[in-house]
Structure 1
Amino acid sequence: MKTINWGIIGCGNVCEKKSGPSFYKIEHSNLVAVMRRDLDKVKDYAMRHKVDKYYTDADQLIADSQVDAVYIATPPNTHMQYAIKAMQAGKLVYVEKPMGMNSAECEEMIRTSETTNQKLFVAFYRRALPYFLKVKELLESGVIGNVLTVEVKQYRSPRVSDLTSSDHTWRVDKDIAGEGYFYDLAPHTLDILDFLLGEITDAKGFSANLGQFYEVKDTISAILKFKSGIIGSGRWCFVTSAQTDVDSIIITGTKGEIRFSTFAFSPILLLSDTASESFDIPSPEHIQQPLIQTIVDELRGVGKCPSTGVSGARTSRVMDMILNA
């Protein structure tokens, strides 16, 4: 393909800045169609982003002969449905995270990708960000020696919408989004650990609803075992005090450690036997653009995207193991 023509299913908030503009700002890439069920909102999005065609029916966008690739930016409960339809219609797919509601859905999406010979990518965009590539560079340099352990901690206070049942976001509706904020946020961390340290082959966890603001789990603790032998732990809690908010990953090796974050892009700290350094690397304006660039590059035969259906499914499998699903 010389130029990739994209269509978006679900042009909501994530498409305003994080992803949407990337499709028409990248060379050899065009955004030609968008879809949202609300006519006024999809028309407004199309007008502001200068997109020629807009739909309120996903099937119509998928059937559009001008669309080569479909970006699925809907809630997780529709990812498999739209991805399979798009691939069966001869479109390659870029789907938001988590890839599916569970690992079984992910495997079905992978099977469809294989039988239709259509590529499947997942929006674990941290794999292409300079911030995390720097962490990977430090690990591969051997500056902290052989990696022994990794410790994850994410504590966050409740959102205002969590406090009143009538205001709850779809993200805490189990039928729409799975197990709440854990399904929404933890996949980014688990996937970047897969990217940095290799496959997680086993995980066990405990989970509870301690805040009682909504029905899904808000507190999760897990232990992780990597294929390499590295042992990890993770704690997530979404009902803490704002004074105890934390977003931290610590990778410890035989000669030191690396400290960084999943969401805050706090300075990367290297503490080792031979060096003590800090690296301040901000995120780009459109945070998904580097990964989308790798997709366009792969489709043009000049690169490789690091986030595929196969790698995305591994993260869903780890979450299933943690939640004993």
Structure 2
Amino acid sequence: MKYRYLGNSGLKVSEICFGNWLTHGSQVENETALKCIRAALDAGITSFDTADVYANTAAEKVLGDGLKGERRESLEIFTKVYWPTGPKGPNDVGLSRKHIMESINGSLKRLRTDYVDLYQAHRYDVETPLEETMQAFADVVRQGKALYIGVSEWDANQIREAHGMAKELGFQLVSNQPQYSMLWRVIEEWVVPTSTELGLSQVCWSPVAQGVLTGKYLPGQPVPKNSRATDTKGGATMIQRFMDDTVLERVQALRPIADELDLTMAQLAVAWVLQNPNVACAIIGASRPRQVNENVAASGVVLTPAVMSRIDDALGDVVVRNPMLTAENSPKGRPS
């Protein structure tokens, strides 16, 4: 396992991060989830990503149970706040001071820890003054409940404004957590340059495009049983944008490249994300321990410029690059 600095901080994270979105507490039985966490630890993964909203807080509890007994100082635990949780009352959502303070306490209890290494704003809250949000995060840091603060799916302008406020309040934003893969590159034009300038890293989710880049979805063929595309708890909705025969045909063109490099298609996809110098880590999920072991092998893989060019040629115009989509996909109001 290789390790990288998170932004302009002294914190190192494993460049493969284990995440439990759409799996633990919902899609995967707890016993299997715990085996996946064990496999991640055995493979040298030290960074673990979750959120209070995943399975309506159940995913945090599963992760806390899975990490019980591990040396806390040897782990980097990330979680997030924004989306509705609990009974989903009017204050159980957003980035108000009230919700942030109550959410961090709940997350710490479920994760069985006194602090998280990285606490992230899961989306931008248009209904709370940014000053209020950043002051609350500053207080969370000063209370020792979070060591570092990050954001997720914020656009370049939001990151710049928040970075300036954080600096005035005596702490630094160190990361942004965006969707990023061979097929979804919307952060490259604006978010990545801004983050590089300001000292933030990307903590990337869905490096295999919800499983599409593994090559298991074939054009013109039924989707595999028990795959992400059949998950009625959210997975099928997220993957739908890529379930187009033209996209799937282009993805199959990556197979010869992976074969020549003696990589699986999943390993090629994760390794591709890690070629971006602004990326600190790629978040992998797993419903079976062997998936963890497969993806971990992408750590340290170097893809030559010629290989990167071949990947671009293979995918062609199915790659989504529109930088406006970060802002367009951002919530226009608090979800209920």
TM-score by length of 2: 0.36
Q: Could you tell me the TM-score, scaled by structure 1's length?
A: 0.37
Q: Between Structure 1 and Structure 2, whose CA radius of gyration is higher?
A: 1
Normalized per residue, which structure has more helix? 2
More strand by share: 1
